[in-house]
């Protein structure tokens, strides 16, 4: 049972990282290509930016890039993928907090990405064995669970 939970947790974490990477990278490109994707320049008045160039680059490179690195490392079953997932999850939360502060408003997208960033962090903690109901195993072991392999401790 633990092996199956770990496998589901790992694949959910991979799916979240891929979703967030794809949407952040595409969003960053569109913001750069369209000078704000139709958002009014008044969104930037109270913030540190004078144009949408820096927010677009940060979304593309920092937010999207860390998510892409996390997803890639998790797909390769590298333990460092968990660290990168935590960094990417915190990066997403910071992005959302700063964005809502700068534009002084919210939308359903901010709630969505706040939720996905939070779930990402919860899954990292679960896969690290912080919760008692899911003991720690290597990511390679979690990948084997989807193939039906189980460990003696999980039987």
Q: Could you report the per-residue pLDDT of 26-82, keeping only the tens digit for each?
A: 999 999 999 898 888 888 888 888 899 999 999 999 999 999 999 999 999 999 999
Predicted model pTM: 0.83
Q: Which of the pair, 104 or 118, is modelled with greater confidence? A: 118
Distance CA 30, CA 37 (A): 6
Q: What is the dihedral of CA 105, 68, 8, 138, to 10 degrees?
A: -130
Cα dihedral 39→64→83→129 (10° resolution) = 70
> Given pLDDT bands bounded at 50, 70 and 90, which one contains residue 141?
low
Mean pLDDT of 133-143: 69
Q: For the residues 74-101, what does the mean pLDDT come to?
A: 96
Percent of the chain residues topping a pLDDT of 90: 61
- Can you give the residue ranges of every domain in the chain? 2-39+55-145
For tokens 């750069």, the residue is 32
Confidence (pLDDT) at 105: 81
């Amino acid at each position: 049972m633990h092996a199956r939970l770990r496998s589901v947790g790992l694949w959910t974490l991979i799916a979240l990282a891929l979703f967030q990477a794809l949407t952040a990278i595409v969003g960053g490109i569109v913001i750069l290509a369209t000078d704000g994707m139709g958002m009014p320049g008044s969104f930037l008045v109270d913030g540190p930016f004078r144009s949408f160039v820096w927010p677009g680059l940060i979304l593309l490179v920092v937010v999207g890039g860390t998510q892409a690195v996390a997803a890639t490392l998790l797909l390769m079953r590298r333990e460092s993928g968990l660290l990168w997932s935590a960094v990417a999850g915190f990066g997403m939360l910071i992005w959302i907090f700063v964005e809502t502060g700068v534009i002084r408003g919210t939308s359903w997208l901010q709630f969505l990405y706040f939720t996905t960033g939070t779930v990402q962090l919860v899954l990292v903690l679960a896969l690290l064995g912080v919760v008692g109901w899911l003991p720690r195993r290597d990511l390679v072991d979690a990948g084997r669970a989807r193939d039906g392999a189980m460990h003696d401790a999980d039987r």
